[in-house]
Amino acid sequence: MFKKRKHNWSVPHGQELTELDKKVLSFQNKGFLVPRRELIKTPEQIEGIRRSGVVNTGVLDLVEQEIHAGMSTADIDKLVYDYTTQHGAIPAPLNYEGFPKSVCTSINEVVCHGIPNENEILREGDIINVDVSTILDGYYSDASRMFIIGKTTPEKEKLVRVTKECLAIGAEAAKPYGFIGDIGKAIEKHAKRNGFSVVRDLCGHGVGLEFHEEPEVNHYNTHEKGMLLVPGMVFTIEPMINMGTWQVFIDEADGWTVVTEDELPSAQWEHTFVMTEHGLEVLTA
């Protein structure tokens, strides 16, 4: 997903230590994993990511207005491309590492990275994740929503609802100078309580100046603290919750589409957040 680097909070030679530097260095000196200083976004960068998030949210709002049974996932892709480009932005997935479309559309048992197709038609009872990522003036934002097509089963409705709750619970667990591991621990507890499992092979990620940055944000309990959460960090939380097993496979036909191993339904919700001194702030809503 992204290139891992050695984590070390370093202050340029001769530069006076800020209060933030002192606080993070105190954790580093105790042996905790801390981010590189370069991962902390400036106020100007955060505002750029926020502006990108406004376009990203507008795309998802449009999809929410237009999505219906009988339309193809290629129709969704066109909506996303047209809206994004008309607002002076670029769909980040388009041609990213060979991905051929502007959005990921993942229906029922597809966990993520579904490729829009004119022959893939939405039907009554489907649940679909629409995952949108936007580049505006060089700044990246990333979010997804679940949509229920018409009336579906109570089991699928519960899956969609609980997954959205998992996103909120994970965000609430993320505290300034807490740890990444707190997020996954809280998410998995809620998912398991409701009889669901959490995908382990995919994760949230840093975002903003690149599509995928550090840190990795696991959505299950790794039983490790993970990286220190420092104000100015920008990252996604995007739990993928399965009705059955957490295990998945990649469709060999396209090399992208991730499907549940038992082919039972999956759901996902995602936001881009910035850590502040008071907790997480959503940048994609």
Model confidence at 281: pLDDT above 50 = yes
pLDDT at position 276: 98
Provide the token pair at 87. Answer: 């607002």
Model confidence at 171: pLDDT above 90 = yes
This prediction's pTM = 0.95
Model confidence at 6: pLDDT above 60 = no
Share of the chain above pLDDT 90, in %: 94
Q: Which DSSP string corresponds to 109-166?
A: TEEE-PPP-TT-B--TT-EEEEEEEEEETTEEEEEEEEEE-SS--HHHHHHHHHHHHH
Q: What number of other Cβ atoms are within 10 A of residue 39's Cβ?
A: 22
Tell me how long the chain is. Answer: 285
Sequence ranges of the domains in the chain: 36-282
Q: Cα–Cα distances in Å, from 215 out to 118, 129, 149, 179?
A: 35, 23, 34, 11
Per-residue pLDDT, averaged over 86-106, amounts to 98
Closest of 242, 262, 283 to residue 49, by C-alpha: 283
- Which DSSP letter does residue 228 get? B
pLDDT tens string 81-94? 999 999 999 999 99
| Dist. CA 193–CA 204, nearest whole Å | 22
| Dist. CA 114–CA 44, nearest whole Å | 34
- End-to-end CA separation in angstroms for the chain: 25
| Dist. CA 43–CA 54, nearest whole Å | 17
| Dist. CA 81–CA 103, nearest whole Å | 8
Q: What is the mean pLDDT of the chain?
A: 96
Model confidence at 189: pLDDT above 90 = yes
pLDDT at position 7: 59
Per-residue pLDDT, averaged over 161-189, amounts to 98
pLDDT at position 3: 45
pLDDT category of residue 5 using cuts at 50, 70 and 90: very low
pLDDT tens string 27-77? 999 999 999 999 999 999 999 999 999 999 999 999 999 999 999 999 999
Model confidence at 139: pLDDT above 80 = yes
Under CATH, domain 36-282 is a member of which superfamily?
Creatinase/methionine aminopeptidase superfamily (3.90.230.10)
Per-residue pLDDT, averaged over 97-102, amounts to 98
- Residue 219's contacts (CB-CB under 8 Å, 6 or more residues apart) are 166, 170, 183, 184, 187, 188, 198, 199, 203, 204, 237, 238, 239, 240
Burial string for 103-125 (b: 16+ CB within 10 Å, else e) reads bbbbbbbbbbbbbbeeebebeee
pLDDT at position 15: 85
